[in-house]
Amino acid sequence: MYNETHVPHSHTQTAAGVHPVAPDAPGAPLVSVAGPTGSGKSELALELAARFSGEIVNCDSLQVYRHFDIGSAKLPEAARRGVPHHLIDILDPGQIFTAGEYARLARETIADISAHGRLPIVAGGTGFYLRALLDGLFEGPSRDQSLRDRLAAREQRRRGSLHRLLSRFDSEAAAKIHPNDVPKVTRALEVCLLARRPVTELYRQGRDRLQGYRVLKFGLMPDREALNQRIDARCRGMFEGGLVEEVRAIQAMGYEAVKPFEALGYAQALQLIRGELNARDALFYAQRNTRRYAKRQITWLRREAAIEWLRGFGDDPEIQSQANRLVLEFLGLST
RNA sequence: GGCGCGGUAGCCAAGUGGUAAGGCAAGGGUCUGCAAAACCCUUAUACGUCGGUUCAAUUCCGACCCGCGCCU
């Protein structure tokens, strides 16, 4: 794939003003920066964007929400060095968002950026969103709240009933989903019922993969111990930097039981406010859960295909120059 | 100094004269429209030390060490 992009392009250096996107390329270039929380994705993405006249497309399921700034570690406007950031602050806290919608929006955004001759850089830690964007999802019905409500009620009456039901509609799907994993069982069932066909059959038709781009995927993979330390420090910084006040402010706007409040740090801050946790425990649980989250992200990333691994933090100059070199090569700008 | 209680894996903790639950933490994994979510799996050369009794001690006895509490 992008091994073929070693073909040196006419002019060499990335002097400012030179459009990095070769107009005759066999697909528009697209860069993505993934990695666990706290690995320095935003910093690396920003660095690359600044250097290659890129624009950043957020790929984080929490940063899409307005008002959730501190706990989602949004790069403050002032720190963005004039680089345009997309798909940040696009939703109200009460709105539900899905991977499918993300993929749609992100694809539009990327197309737009490319059309202007700039380099789209997708940055964020939500692996599922990235996969939905790049590999696509299967073509099928999207979520249906009223159906879900009915299914949930049924499951509540008899635990495991949804899984049993699913095995009648699609035994293959049922075999792959653990009965305790109600959300996934629900989705599979929802699809079967809405499409009147087994999900498995729909899966077989493939995903609606992103077309027309050449993709360079970075995976930041810092040392686990160092990452954990950063995570702990960052969580502490969030609490000390006004996370609880941020939550109070959001509550004051009338939001209480909204989805983003379930996120790491926010959940704990909320419990602290409600008196269900003391300050020490709130921090402790936020840190621990964030460390676990990072672990899950790493698990997800390991499975991702064709990743250029960067064994360190994205704000490390050494890592940044490694990434720079790879992007240069990728764009066909290396000498 | 005396008395009492305790000392089991990284932490908490049950328990038995025949080599020992569980929980937490940790690690690994799954993921096709709520994914910072949800779910699954795995783990240990662990019974303070030294002796004694016994076929056999983590379990009983003694001494010692350490911790906690109380007393003088």
Do A207 and A138 form a contact (C-beta atoms < 8 A)?
A: yes
Report which residue is nearest nucleotide B30 when distances run from CA to C1': A177
State which nucleotides on strand B lie below 7 Å from a protein beta carbon. 25-40
A27-72 confidence digits (pLDDT tens): 899 999 999 999 999 999 999 999 999 999 999 999 999 999 999 9
Whole-angstrom distance, CA of residue A265 vs CA of residue A284: 10
CA A247 to chain centre: 22
Closest by Cα among A240, A252, A226 to A286: A240
What tens digit of pLDDT does each residue of A155-190 get? 988 888 999 999 999 999 999 999 999 999 999 999
- Of the pLDDT bands very low, low, confident and very high (cuts 50, 70, 90), residue A220 is very high
Q: Which of A4, A6, A62, A1 is nearest to A37 (CA)?
A: A62
What is the complex's ipTM, to 2 decimals?
0.87
Structure tokens at A269: 């801050």
Note the CA–C1' distance, A331 to B36, in angstroms.
Answer: 33
End-to-end CA distance of chain A: 19
Q: Which residue is nearest to nucleotide B39 (CA to C1')?
A: A181
